[in-house]
Every structure is written in structure tokens, then in C-alpha cells.
């Protein structure tokens, strides 16, 4: 089940479409596309509240336009993901030492473990 993020304004329940962050050192409010993850220092806003956003006197508002092509993963992203899944599913070859190349002699076994002694 996926939960849609809602506008951070208390009485508003509309879906969020933009994220607002502040750069206090520069007295700047930055309004950009909806962030990938909800973070405590950022505010998610619906379209109405994004349009009516104003900043305190002396502050600058920077509005970053989102690229409509960035709405979902591209074909290249999906191919890269498929390649990564295929690579992870390949069995890892196990390097086995031939018995004549071992440095010790097997004395006992316990399950899959062997006890070797050196001469």
C-alpha cells in the first residue's frame, strides 16, 4: 500500500506536489518539485498553497520548475535495474582446492567441516 504525501498546511488535505525548503543564511525560500522522501526540515505543499506562497520581507523565493520527463524512471533506468537483478541472480563460482593441493591430512569430519592436521 502506498501512501500519498499530503500538504503540510494544517487544514489542507490535498496531495503534495512541491517541496519547500529554507536557506536561512541567504534568507531564501526554495520551492521545487516534490522531494523523493519526506524530511522533517522540508514542507510538502499542494498546488494551491505553492502558488500562493510568499516569503517574509527581505527574503527571496526561488521557484524551481520540475522537468515533466522526470516523473518516472526512464527506459535506461529500467534496463540498468534489470541488468543488476540478472547479475545478482548469477551463482557465484566456488573455488575448490583439489585434495592433492591441500597442505594437511583430513583426520575427522563434523557435518560440512573437516579437521586437517599438518605434518
Are 49 and 20 in contact by the 8 Å Cβ rule? The answer is no
User: Over 90: is that where the pLDDT of 106 sits?
Assistant: no
Cα separation, 19 vs 46, whole angstroms: 9
23-66 pLDDT, tens digit per residue, is: 888 899 999 998 888 888 899 999 999 999 988 899 999 998 76
**Mean pLDDT of the region 76-89:** 82
As for how many domains the chain has, the answer is 1
Residues of the chain with pLDDT > 90, as a percent, come to 30
Domain range for 89 is 77-117
Of 88 and 60, the structure prediction assigns the larger pLDDT to 60
Q: What pTM did the predictor assign? A: 0.53
Domain for residue 7, yes or no?
no
Query: In this structure, what are the phi and psi dihedrals at residue 113, rounded to the nearest 5 degrees?
Result: -95, 145
CA 71 to chain CA centroid, nearest Å: 15
Cell 489542507 maps to which residue? 12
Show the cell assigned to 46.
499542494
User: Over 50: is that where the pLDDT of 1 sits?
Assistant: no
Domain for residue 111, yes or no?
yes
Amino acid at each position: 500500500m502506498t501512501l500519498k504525501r499530503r500538504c503540510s498546511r494544517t487544514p489542507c488535505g490535498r496531495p503534495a506536489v512541491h517541496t519547500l525548503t529554507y536557506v536561512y543564511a541567504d534568507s531564501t525560500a526554495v520551492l521545487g518539485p516534490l522531494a523523493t522522501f519526506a524530511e522533517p526540515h522540508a514542507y510538502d505543499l499542494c498546488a494551491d498553497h505553492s502558488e500562493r506562497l510568499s516569503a517574509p520581507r527581505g527574503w527571496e523565493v526561488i521557484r524551481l520548475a520540475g522537468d515533466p520527463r522526470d516523473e518516472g524512471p526512464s527506459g535506461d533506468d529500467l534496463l540498468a535495474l534489470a541488468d543488476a537483478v540478472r547479475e545478482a541472480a548469477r551463482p557465484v563460482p566456488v573455488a575448490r582446492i583439489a585434495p592433492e593441493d591441500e597442505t594437511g591430512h583430513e583426520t575427522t569430519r563434523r557435518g560440512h567441516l573437516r579437521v586437517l592436521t599438518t605434518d
